[in-house]
Structures are given as structure tokens and as C-alpha cells.
Amino acid sequence: MDAPVNSLDAFWMPFTANRQFKASPRLLVAARNMHYTSHDGRQILDGTAGLWCSNAGHCREPIVRAIQRQAQTLDFAPTFQMGHPLAFEAAARVAHLLPPGLDHVFFTNSGSESVDTALKIALAYHRARGEGQRTRLIGRERGYHGVGFGGLSVGGIGRNRAQFGTMLPGVDHLPHTHDVARNAFSRGQPAHGAEAADALERILALHDPATVAAVIVEPLAGSTGVLVPPLGYLERLREICTRHGILLIFDEVISGFGRLGAPFAVDRFGVVPDMLTLAKGITNAAVPMGAVVASNQIHDGLMQGPAHAIELSHGYTYSGHPLACAALIATLDLYADEDLFARAASLAPRFEEAAHGLRDCPNVIDIRNLGLVAGIELAPRPGAPGTRAYDAFVAAYEAGILIRVTGDIIAISPPLIISEAQIDELFGTLRNVLQTIA
Ligand SMILES: Cc1ncc(COP(=O)(O)O)c(C=O)c1O
């Protein structure tokens, strides 16, 4: 069938109400620093760093130039039984940002691939050290770990799972930590809820801890609507996992690269997992890339057998793609040159004030924040959950700001280059929008 080239039909859009969108499209045609340009020529202030990923803002010159240079020098090189220098440099740069002992980096192309890779490494590691019975994986309700079958299985967002059958066997879930009744309008980490980690002991008693390979959580749950970990919660998870020989994986796809006002959640909370999953901000989203960072213990545990044996039968054609590596190195340089992680920390108090300033807006039932992330939860309309926040999203776009909504929760996560005046503009516009949404 001949389709006009400017038809919207062919692109089956991800996580989108396709028919609704195509009846009333919102197209972005350019971006620079804090702004997108819409197809009708308006400047849209980016309150979401794209999709939690363009932490240094858009189309930054040093990253653009690095990608251009790399594209004309070495467009592609395999990393299966071959190498190219930038992949080794990129891995070393990532490891250098993390605490000592987390020194090994496996490259992927997305957060979903990073999660599935980490889960596979956990299984392979236990098997290599003679504990192949450790096959169970534990995630958390309301967790988001991407869309591969592994990530979906440990993920805990019901509507993402409902269409796709039974998924991986041997998976269980911790309860989520969201507790509006006790923690509404908390600033930073909420006071109540560390005991939710004790549910891990109950799950282990049910299954036998010796059958469990790994626990995976987002230190701060982003996609489910900004759930900040209660004080003491992550420490308790760490302690229980260590006691039972279970690997703890932090999914830092959103929380990494300065979002929380520290390089990683690991630094922000002072809790060190056995593996981390990364993506998004790793290249400022200019080229798709993800990574798993593994402890030396895990890496060394798998470097066994004859030297000619492939130690981990896993990888992607584009693991360590030259363009992604060039973007990664330029991105980390830019984060350092502009001291953006510290900048996020220094802007956080102003950002917190501005976010909590929306408390008196209609239908707001909770506001929560950490670093440069805020969640604003609206009461759902009776019988029509999600529609109130969606209407706010559309009205906000019309008013010139990009926000993100999930259910009836608005998430704000701007690039770390945002100015104080732009913080005021972002929340001021959102205030006006919320006043108009019934
Ligand atoms: C915590 C977390 N893990 C994994 C993913 C999946 O990443 P991707 O969409 O790059 O596959 C996301 C995406 O938002 C995420 O927030």
C-alpha cells in the first residue's frame, strides 16, 4: 500500500495511545540546551530531560562533535573476540566514577538490556561458584526495569505485565514502599517505611534463601511515580542480602549520573550493591547505550576455566559501539567540566521549595522530591484514573513545558543545567496549569 511519506500511520509508537496521539500529534523537531522546538515553532522548556536522560541538556557541542568525529573515523567494530580502544576507555571511565570494587563494565544498548544482562550475570555467577540452585530473582511491586522478559518479570507495574503471559518462573516481589498516609509531603527521604525491607526475610523463609540469586530494586523508583526510599530501607535490604549470600542489584538507569545530586544513588545513600544497571544519562541520550557494572567478586568469579573458554555467553552486536563510546566519554567530560552532579545538589533546595510550593493547588494529594526529581500526585478522577494527570500533561505542553505523567502522578526531572529562573518558570507554569484542571 502506498502511504504518504508524511503519514503518521507506519510508526507504531512505544508506550503511546497511538490513535489518540495521531489524532492530535505533538512533534518535536529540534532541541538545544534546556529547550525543545515543537513542530509549530514554539520553545518548550524541558522539565523531564527528555525521558530522564539528557542530563546535560540537548545537542551539547562537545558531545555532538565527538559523535561526528567518531562516525568518520571508525563507524563500527565488533567487540566479540575483537576490540577497539574507545570501548576500553569508556568502561574504565565508568568504573572510575563508582566506588572501588565495582570495577567491571559490560556494555549494552538500553536500560532493558542492562537489566536482563545483570540478571543473567547473577545466575551465571552463582552457577560458576557451585551454587547453581540459586535461580530465583526478587523484584519489587511498582518497580520498573524495562521491557525485556527478565526486566518485566522482576518489574512490578501491573499494566505493563498484563498483556504478556506468565513471564519468567521463580520470581517474587517485595512490597512497594509508597505510603501516602504516613509520608505525604515528605521532603527528601520519608521517615516511615524501612520495615518494608523485612518482607524480604519472609519471602526468603518461604522459598529458602539458598535458592535466591538476586534482589533488584531501583534505589529511587522513577517510572512508577517517584518513590523515594524511606530512611534506612536500602541499608536493611543490603544487610539481609549480604547475610544470605544474595546479590543486590541497583537499577540506576534513572538515578545515575547526577539526578539525585550525587554521581549515583550509591553515593547519595551510601549503600553499595553488587551490581548496578545504567543507561540514559550515560551518553546524555545522544546515542543509545547501557551498561552493567559488576563487583570484582562477581567478575573474578566468572573468569574461570581454560583461558580459551568464553566466560559469559552473552553480548550484543552493539555492545561498546564506537559512536556510543565516543558519546559516553564526551558526556562524562562535560559532566565533570561543568561540575553538573554538584550543580544538581546545589539546585536541589530551590527545586524542593518550588515543587512543594504546589501543595495548595487543586487535587494535589502528595509531593515528594530528592535531588532534581519531584513527584506530584493528584487525586484520580472517580472512575477515570490517569485522565487528570494526562490533561495536565497536554495543557502543560500547550503552555510551553514538558512534564511526564504516570497514572495520576506528574514527574519532574529537568536537565541538571536548569537555571534557578527556569526552575521558577517550570513550576510557575505547572501551577497555572493545575489551577485549570478540574
Ligand atoms: C529504572 C529503569 N530501568 C530500566 C529502564 C529501561 O530502560 P530502556 O527504556 O532504555 O530500555 C528504565 C527506563 O525508564 C528505568 O527507568
Do residues 355 and 332 both lie within one domain?
no
Could you list the residue range(s) of the whole structural domain that residue 424 is in? 18-56+339-436
Q: Say if ligand 1 is within 6 A of residue 148 CB.
A: no
Ligand 1, atom 3: nearest CA belongs to which residue?
145
Q: In angstroms, rounded to a whole number, what is the distance separating the alpha carbons of residues 189 and 265?
A: 12
pLDDT in tens, the chain (438 residues): 454 556 999 999 999 999 999 999 999 999 999 999 999 999 999 999 999 999 999 999 999 999 999 999 999 999 999 999 999 999 999 999 999 999 999 999 999 999 999 999 999 999 999 999 999 999 999 999 999 999 999 999 999 999 999 999 999 999 999 999 999 999 999 999 999 999 999 999 999 999 999 999 999 999 999 999 999 999 999 999 999 999 999 999 999 999 999 999 999 999 999 999 999 999 999 999 999 999 999 999 999 999 999 999 999 999 999 999 999 999 999 999 999 999 999 999 999 999 999 999 999 999 999 999 999 999 999 999 999 999 999 999 999 999 999 999 999 999 999 999 999 999 999 999 999 999
Ligand 1 atom, smallest distance to 111 CA: 7
Q: Say if ligand 1 is within 6 A of residue 413 CB.
A: no
Within a domain: residue 193?
yes
Within a domain: residue 357?
yes
Ligand 1, atom 13: nearest CA belongs to which residue?
146
Do residues 289 and 345 both lie within one domain?
no
Contact 112, 292 (CB under 8 A): no
Within a domain: residue 89?
yes
**pLDDT score recorded for residue 5:** 56
Do residues 319 and 208 both lie within one domain?
yes
Do residues 346 and 331 both lie within one domain?
no
**pLDDT score recorded for residue 141:** 98
The CA 220 to ligand 1 mean position distance, Å, reads 13
Do residues 386 and 330 both lie within one domain?
no
Within a domain: residue 5?
no
Ligand 1 atom, smallest distance to 148 CA: 11
Q: Say if ligand 1 is within 6 A of residue 145 CB.
A: yes
Q: What 3-state DSSP class applies to 89?
A: helix
Q: In angstroms, rounded to a whole number, what is the distance separating the alpha carbons of residues 264 and 250?
A: 10
Do residues 299 and 356 both lie within one domain?
no
Ligand 1, atom 8: nearest CA belongs to which residue?
111
User: Of 337, 365, 392, which closes a domain?
Assistant: 337
Q: Say if ligand 1 is within 6 A of residue 254 CB.
A: yes
Q: In angstroms, rounded to a whole number, what is the distance separating the alpha carbons of residues 410 and 399?
A: 16
Tell me the helices (H) and strands (E) count for the chain, helix number first.
16, 15
Q: Say if ligand 1 is within 6 A of residue 403 CB.
A: no
* CATH code assigned at 401: 3.90.1150.10
**pLDDT score recorded for residue 4:** 56
User: Of 337, 371, 391, which closes a domain?
Assistant: 337
> Nearest CA to 126 among 291, 241, 272, 271?
241
User: Of 337, 369, 394, which closes a domain?
Assistant: 337
The CA 318 to ligand 1 mean position distance, Å, reads 18
Amino acid letter at 27? L
Ligand 1 atom, smallest distance to 279 CA: 10
The CA 222 to ligand 1 mean position distance, Å, reads 9
* CATH code assigned at 81: 3.40.640.10
Do residues 414 and 388 both lie within one domain?
yes
Tally of domains within the chain? 2
Q: Say if ligand 1 is within 6 A of residue 116 CB.
A: no
Specify the pairing of strand 290-294 against strand 104-108: antiparallel
Ligand 1 atom, smallest distance to 280 CA: 10
User: Ligand 1: which of 108, 116, 145 to mutate, judged by most atoms within 8 Å of the beta carbon?
Assistant: 145
Do residues 347 and 422 both lie within one domain?
yes
Do residues 388 and 330 both lie within one domain?
no
Do residues 29 and 122 both lie within one domain?
no
Contacting residues for 410 by C-beta, under 8 A, at least 6 apart: 375, 376, 377, 378, 389, 392, 393, 403, 404, 430
Check residue 226 and give left, alpha or beta (phi > 0: left; psi -120 to 50: alpha): left
Q: Say if ligand 1 is within 6 A of residue 79 CB.
A: no
Q: In angstroms, rounded to a whole number, what is the distance separating the alpha carbons of residues 26 and 399?
A: 13
Q: Say if ligand 1 is within 6 A of residue 48 CB.
A: no
